[in-house]
Structure 1
């Protein structure tokens, strides 16, 4: 599973109630994020290192190399977000415009909302069901 850290969090004075939040996501080789959404945020992403495999909503799966970018509209379902390499790490910077209250109250956990079905499947797997 990737390591996710907030690297900046700035209230936007020209957009009351909104903040720009930067998440630095470090993918070890052959890792991926669970399917997720981003709490109604608009998300712009740049690949800083490595290559990632990406699929959003019902769109195609595509490969994004270092320097490549993509955008997630509010409500977007991020189905696949994988490090494409089995031997090298990858890193992305996700910049979100999100309700300030969400990040203040919930931090990273509130910004990356993992699909409930995935969470339940992992719980069942862990309990041997």
Structure 2
């Protein structure tokens, strides 16, 4: 069954719920906190994206206050920070709130993004 709501992720579940899962579907991650004004503006957009792109993208949310390990690991300096993972790789990382149209463009690009098979080797593509 496709998820149509943001998936809440923790320090303990991030590897499985985001990195490993991104081999099945791309994952858009919102690093946020309760006290953050711009985060509250992004939250309803994330809800809409989860609903509109159910079965194509997983939308995940990380509460930075409750999950300091992830904040430290990804060097989160400002929230919201939006990241995207595909095929186990971080493919997008940018702090700040964007308009809904920009989020929709990002999600579409994430869905369409092709990760080269031998990208891990670092060899040039033919």
- Smaller-chain TM-score range? under 0.3
- Greater share of strand residues, 1 or 2? 1
Q: Normalized against structure 2, the TM-score is what?
A: 0.24
- Greater share of helix residues, 1 or 2? 2
Q: Normalized against structure 1, the TM-score is what?
A: 0.23
